[in-house]
Structure 1
Amino acid sequence: MSGRPAGPGLVARFWSLAEVRWAAIATGLFALGGVAQLLESPPALWWALYLACYVTGGWEPALAGLRALPERTLDVDLLMIVAAVGAASIGQVFDGALLIVIFATSGALEAVATARTADSVRALLDLAPERATRLLPDGEEEVIEAADLAVDDIIRIRPGERIAADALVLDGASDVEQATITGEPLPVAKTAGDEVFAGTLNGTGSLIAQVHRPVGESVIARIVALVEKASATKAKTQLFIEKVEQWYSVAVVVATLALFGVPLALGAELQPTLLRAMTFMIVASPCAVVLATMPPLLSAIALAGRNGVLVKSALVMERLADTSLVAFDKTGTLTTGSPRLAGVHAAAGVDTTELLRLAAGAEDPSEHPLAVAVLTAAQERGLPVPPAGDFDSTPGHGVTALIEGRRVAVGRPSLLDQLPDHVAAETRHVVTHVEGAGHTAVVVVVDGRPWGVLALADHIRSRAAATVEALTALTGATPVLLTGDNLGAARHLAAEAGIADTYAGLLPADKVDRVRHVQARGQRVLLVGDGVNDAPALATAELGVAMGRQGSDLALQTADAVLVRDDLSALPAMIALSRRARRVVKANLLIAAAFIIVLVTWDLTGHLPLPLGVAGHEGSTVIVGLNGLRLLRQSGWRQTT
């Protein structure tokens, strides 16, 4: 997903969860019991294995259900335990053990998902350093814990350090990599008066800054809070399901007790009355309903996985069908996330090839992303890169070097401020044109004369426009763009992708507000992003989808699904697959409900033999299971872009 193996540490982390251990043990005992039964071993052996499965897999939900009873709450977990015990009491211990395994495994998966989300949110705080260098009034320095920084403290930020707090620059100049906060693809020049954020990475310059926000209220800390709050809010959507489970559980228990108690009160014999009541509880159990839902959704998840999409749960796969609007982040999502040369604007009398060759020579010693883009462009054109001498880099401005006896300067448009107005005027017009088109302007000056402007841009992904068109047709609404980048770059990219609504210059909290605003209009938003700055919005949206190759750990963990191959065309295919899965689920639920109604009616109004009841119950399970497995076929994945 992110290019890193899970490793034994992750396995050990999950194994440390009690739910995972008990579910694994219960499943193993169930499998051993099944093998022993098939091999016609002594009944005492496989009965013992099944009963051990009961204990290991059922004690936690049973205890939780019993503790909930004083609060007048009866859930399906406790009902399943009672049904399992009832099945065992009339000799159907295999059916009971199967119920136990299903619910134990479900609880384990939920525990794993919760643990992973909590770990990823805690890991976000590691972006901010543990220590900071504070300047004392007498000019001395002291290294303190970052958590001890207070508002108005003066800190020194050295080259290559992560910034410990949100602060205002007092002195110095540097480029700061702050994509984790704003999503901007390139380092941002910082000088006196500019704000820097905790957790961002300082470049090659040194900064003196004044803390202006408590550490616990920094932008990065607020991102954590937003993710946690949004995740908790999203969990409330399950309240309706819990209410249905409650009523169903009460109805089955009341009906079972009535079916057992009333005939006894009227003088019926104990054994046949108990047999009928237990048969009712078995045929009324929701196993068929559960399996009517899960096989198609899990099959769809498996099919999506084979095509480069990781869908994290069956609930996510089902809810994808409700998507009515898709919102995209820009950098690293609709674009590749790395700048490339988009154009060369040479001054009059200057050869474009010579301009690019000299610029590449000057940028060769630099590690700045813009330098990499210039060098790559020169290499792709087969230009020999001349060696650079007397190289110098000025953070926030650019680089200078001696190339073949000529002094070459490459950097931001601020280089033109050092030249007379009549010399720089024409180049300033070119810069304005380049930036108006949404590109980054890089000025090249040779021996004090402007030679031209290089236009750099973050390239749109190859299938972005086709994906936007397909999503528009599928959802009935044109996707929107939410980005922390500047408005010019955002509008240029949106025009290429076919997006009309663009919201630029957004911080993480702004993206959350925008998502909530759209949701307030009744639309179900699917947000696609890749960075830490997208995580709160990913959690706030009904569904979040992260880019797998370049996505931050928090985005990958917060998102409900991951495009492992960064293939945007998988988005419409994923939504279409979810809608097909939902149709299969509805058909399966009708089949399962029909079986339950017929079997329960038979048991209540006639005499349903226990073997026939079990056969009908298991038969409905097999039918809906096989129907759901149809979605495993590759033909179910239909990419339209």
Structure 2
Amino acid sequence: MTTAIATAGNAAGPQPAVARAGWARQAVGLPEARWALAATALFAAGGLAQLAGAPPAVWWLLYLACYAAGGWEPAVAGGRALRAGTLDVDLLMVVAAVLAASIGQVLDGALLIVIFATSGALEAVATARTADSVRALLTLAPETATRLRPEGGEELVEAASLAVGDRVLVRPGERVAADGLVDEGVSEVDEAGITGEPLPALKQPASHVFAGTLNGTGALTVRVTREAADSAVARIVALVEEASATKATAQLFIEKVEQRYSVAMVLVTLALLTVPLALGAAFQPTLLRAMTFMIVASPCAVVLATMPPLLAAIANAGRHGLLVKSAPVMERIGTVDLVAFDKTGTLTEGTPRVVAVRPLAPSGLSENALLRLAAAAERSSEHPLARAVARAADERGIGLPEATGFRATPGQGVRAVVDGHDVTVGSAAVLAHGAPRAVRDAATAAAAQVESHGQTALHLVVDGVPLAVIAVADRLRNEARATVGRLAGTTGRPPVLLTGDAALPARAVAEAAGITSVHARLLPAHKAEHLREAQSAGATAMFVGDGINDAPALATADVGVAMGRHGSDLALQTADAVIVRDDLSTLPAVVALSRRARRVVVANLVIAGTFIVALSTWDLVGHLPLPLGVAGHEGSTVIVALNGLRLLRSSSWQEAAGEESRR
């Protein structure tokens, strides 16, 4: 059948032609689905009319309408292919359906039309990609920027017009308009979309900033170092498009052999018709024999040998929380032998949480009392670490007093008056120099111990005296370690971690998850490059991620899997599959289910091939009655279809998961 080319996130912006192609695929996919539904409805109506004893003209008319609704598109496509010098199975299926109707087997022909129309529509819809997500990525960078004039003053200009060397002002809460270096100012910038780091990064003079990242509470003056077309965001778009264009188009077995098979089938059919006629044979029996051969040799059972098991596996996986976007993807999942994970939001929950409150010797206060002071001071801050502290107090049921005189200093922390005490929470910069040296050294040692585990240390200072160190970390998903272990057993190779986060937290999460191979501080291009290197070495790679920065890797991997609940639009559109409920335990199960589906496909192909060879040989060397040929052909079709549909049962998922867990 005709394969819709699955490209991920084809975009507008720098590549308008690619964008138009993406929209064209979407425009094709939806009408195909509507025509397939119409054909199915007409087929069902014809069947009901026939069972109800309606006049033959009624159900014949309904079946013929089914032919028209489901067959016109493959007929037109097959005609175009024929004019281009190729012959595909779609056209042969339409011809076989028409021939079946011409000898009175209108029901069989209509069923054939419905099967092909439905499978083609499912594939077209599943593989269609829109340009929306990449357009959204490009709009992360603001359309306008505040440029500072060399002679003084400022002006509002289009961000796309910024040139290298321009100086722009980025106010609190604004997005950075261009890649550049900070000239003046101090602030914290949320770079999670580009680098994957979960916490805002401190920016000060000489720090790099990226277009589209979100500025915090401080004002920054940025000197542009890259034009818009060469920004980090634009490079992510280009990487996604390049990976999508070069990623091999997935094909099912029948699609790989359809051209040769179709030509051979037509040549034999023509030979069966022309050679006997040239030797003086009667026309009618010769035509009947050739038609019989074309029907019994048509690869209906071969197509159904492939599609139903894979589509049934897709439906089964969907019921268990994993959406696979096409049959070729489901087929390919079973070949995966290397799994790579992103860290933040994938192996971890993506939300910083307080994991410990460490009182220092002179505090004399309980953990809850210390957390109460810290949370009261942090409550007015929008920083992710502040929200983690406030959430921890709420989860423990700690009531918070009012705080006054709140002040936030980028890169340091917050300060407020709580219950008459001067409370400061933040980095090591907030340690009071007036406190005894031994206390400051104890606070520094406690923070170093926290950070050695890949956690973030927050100092709590009350009235100038360090009283506690609060450890904050992104928590590992509950099922992550078991999933990593089972994937290692299933694929025969331990998973790897590819993250843009710093080395210490990356190693801490990897150790907790049971991963030994860690690559940290990776930009989007570096993640994709690691996957390409593995593929060059012969690996079939699956990448699991959730962020904008993961999109190039998702597009490059043989199978890209996105986290559904909190995944970015670009990641969800680029991925081949989506974990709807963010439950990583579905991954080893779907790999096992795909392998089971592939085994069913092989068994079905053996069954279908046996029937085709036997019936075709009978027709060639003997006399195969047409009704018996149709019965044998349809019987093999029913057998392989029912065998494939066994994978719809929930027990198939459980059995596949059980097979995987016993490895």
Give yes or no for the alignment of 1:146 onto 2:159.
yes
Which letter does structure 2 place at the counterpart of 1:232?
A: A
Give the CA deviation at 1:114.
4.3
String of CA shifts for 1:505-543, please: whole Å, max 9, x gaps.
Answer: 111111001111112221111111111111111111111
Which among 512, 516, 529 is matched to residue 528 of structure 2? 512
Which among 15, 29, 54 is matched to residue 42 of structure 2? 29
Give yes or no for the alignment of 1:63 onto 2:76.
yes
Partner residue, 1:365: 380
Q: Is the 8 A contact 1:90 1:278 kept in 2?
A: no
Which blocks of at least 5 consecutive residues in structure 1 are unaligned? 1-9
Which among 468, 477, 484 is matched to residue 493 of structure 2? 477
Matches of 1:271 and 1:417, distance apart in 2: 104
String of CA shifts for 1:322-354, please: whole Å, max 9, x gaps.
Answer: 111111111111111111112223322113523
Q: Is the 8 A contact 1:345 1:352 kept in 2?
A: no
Give yes or no for the alignment of 1:603 onto 2:616.
no
String of CA shifts for 1:152-184, please: whole Å, max 9, x gaps.
Answer: 222222222222322222222222222111111
Which letter does structure 2 place at the counterpart of 1:19?
A: E
Which among 168, 175, 179 is matched to residue 166 of structure 1? 179
Cα distance change, pair 566–226 in 1 and its aligned pair in 2 (3 A):
same
Matches of 1:305 and 1:240, distance apart in 2: 23
Greater Cα offset, 430-439 or 613-622: 430-439
Give yes or no for the alignment of 1:408 onto 2:423.
yes
Q: Which secondary structure does the structure 2 equivalent of 1:246 belong to?
A: helix
Give yes or no for the alignment of 1:106 onto 2:122.
no
Cα distance change, pair 382–499 in 1 and its aligned pair in 2 (3 A):
same
Which among 348, 353, 357 is matched to residue 344 of structure 1? 357
- Percent identity reads 65
Q: Is the 8 A contact 2:454 2:506 kept in 1?
A: yes
Partner residue, 2:18: none
Give the aligned CA root-mean-square deviation in angstroms. 2.4
Partner residue, 2:548: 532
Give the CA deviation at 1:292.
1.4
Partner residue, 1:272: 285
Partner residue, 2:66: 53
Matches of 2:622 and 2:479, distance apart in 1: 62
Matches of 1:519 and 1:420, distance apart in 2: 57
Give the CA deviation at 1:491.
0.6
Greater Cα offset, 122-131 or 270-279: 122-131
Partner residue, 1:381: 396
Which among 500, 504, 519 is matched to residue 516 of structure 2? 500
Q: Which secondary structure does the structure 2 equivalent of 1:338 belong to?
A: strand
Q: Is the 8 A contact 2:313 2:597 kept in 1?
A: yes
Matches of 2:435 and 2:164, distance apart in 1: 43
Give the CA deviation at 1:240.
8.0
Q: Is the 8 A contact 1:344 1:352 kept in 2?
A: no
Give yes or no for the alignment of 1:210 onto 2:223.
yes
Q: Is the 8 A contact 2:29 2:125 kept in 1?
A: no
Partner residue, 2:474: 458
String of CA shifts for 1:82-112, please: whole Å, max 9, x gaps.
Answer: 2223323333333333333333333333432
Cα distance change, pair 578–49 in 1 and its aligned pair in 2 (3 A):
same
Provide TM-score, normalisation by structure 2: 0.90
Which letter does structure 2 place at the counterpart of 1:529?
A: G
Q: Which secondary structure does the structure 2 equivalent of 1:534 belong to?
A: helix
Matches of 1:242 and 1:623, distance apart in 2: 21
Cα distance change, pair 206–569 in 1 and its aligned pair in 2 (3 A):
same
Cα distance change, pair 633–25 in 1 and its aligned pair in 2 (3 A):
closer
Give the CA deviation at 1:419.
6.6
Partner residue, 1:7: none
Partner residue, 1:355: 370
Give the CA deviation at 1:420.
8.3
Q: Is the 8 A contact 2:565 2:581 kept in 1?
A: yes
Q: Which secondary structure does the structure 2 equivalent of 1:376 belong to?
A: helix
Matches of 2:254 and 2:642, distance apart in 1: 25
Matches of 1:65 and 1:575, distance apart in 2: 35
String of CA shifts for 1:220-262, please: whole Å, max 9, x gaps.
Answer: 2222222222222223453986451110111111111111111
Partner residue, 2:628: 612
Matches of 1:142 and 1:77, distance apart in 2: 60
Matches of 1:166 and 1:100, distance apart in 2: 55
Q: Is the 8 A contact 2:143 2:158 kept in 1?
A: yes
Which among 432, 435, 438 is matched to residue 448 of structure 2? 432
Cα distance change, pair 458–122 in 1 and its aligned pair in 2 (3 A):
same
Cα distance change, pair 148–32 in 1 and its aligned pair in 2 (3 A):
farther
Q: Which secondary structure does the structure 1 equivalent of 2:469 belong to?
A: strand
Greater Cα offset, 249-258 or 286-295: 286-295
Give the CA deviation at 1:79.
2.0
Matches of 1:581 and 1:471, distance apart in 2: 18
Give the CA deviation at 1:382.
3.5
1:214-225 equivalences under 5 Å are 214-225=227-238
Matches of 1:200 and 1:188, distance apart in 2: 10
Greater Cα offset, 365-374 or 81-90: 81-90
Q: Which secondary structure does the structure 2 equivalent of 1:343 belong to?
A: strand
Which among 192, 196, 201 is matched to residue 183 of structure 1? 196
Partner residue, 1:550: 566
Give the CA deviation at 1:363.
0.5
Q: Is the 8 A contact 1:165 1:197 kept in 2?
A: yes
Which letter does structure 2 place at the counterpart of 1:366?
A: S
Cα distance change, pair 124–26 in 1 and its aligned pair in 2 (3 A):
farther
Q: Which secondary structure does the structure 1 equivalent of 2:500 belong to?
A: coil
Partner residue, 2:610: 594
Matches of 2:310 and 2:236, distance apart in 1: 32
Give the CA deviation at 1:53.
3.2
Give yes or no for the alignment of 1:41 onto 2:57.
no
Partner residue, 1:629: 645
Matches of 1:112 and 1:128, distance apart in 2: 31
Which letter does structure 2 place at the counterpart of 1:395?
A: P
Q: Is the 8 A contact 2:565 2:582 kept in 1?
A: yes
Matches of 1:321 and 1:239, distance apart in 2: 13
Greater Cα offset, 611-620 or 86-95: 86-95
Which letter does structure 2 place at the counterpart of 1:192?
A: P
Greater Cα offset, 625-634 or 461-470: 625-634
Which letter does structure 1 place at the counterpart of 2:613?
A: I
Q: Is the 8 A contact 1:14 1:112 kept in 2?
A: no
Q: Which secondary structure does the structure 2 equivalent of 1:637 belong to?
A: helix
Give the CA deviation at 1:554.
1.5
Matches of 1:467 and 1:35, distance apart in 2: 48
Which letter does structure 2 place at the counterpart of 1:149?
A: L
Which letter does structure 2 place at the counterpart of 1:247?
A: R
Which letter does structure 1 place at the counterpart of 2:567?
A: G
Give yes or no for the alignment of 1:235 onto 2:240.
no
Partner residue, 1:394: 409
Matches of 1:96 and 1:167, distance apart in 2: 64
Partner residue, 1:120: 133
Provide TM-score, normalisation by structure 1: 0.93
Give the CA deviation at 1:16.
8.5
Q: Which secondary structure does the structure 1 equivalent of 2:481 belong to?
A: helix
Matches of 1:45 and 1:383, distance apart in 2: 75
Partner residue, 1:4: none
Q: Is the 8 A contact 2:253 2:306 kept in 1?
A: no
Partner residue, 1:95: 108
Partner residue, 1:3: none
Greater Cα offset, 81-90 or 530-539: 81-90
Q: Which secondary structure does the structure 1 equivalent of 2:647 belong to?
A: helix
1:124-139 equivalences under 5 Å are 124-139=137-152
Q: Which secondary structure does the structure 1 equivalent of 2:460 belong to?
A: strand
Q: Which secondary structure does the structure 2 equivalent of 1:528 belong to?
A: strand
Greater Cα offset, 299-308 or 70-79: 70-79
Matches of 1:473 and 1:357, distance apart in 2: 46
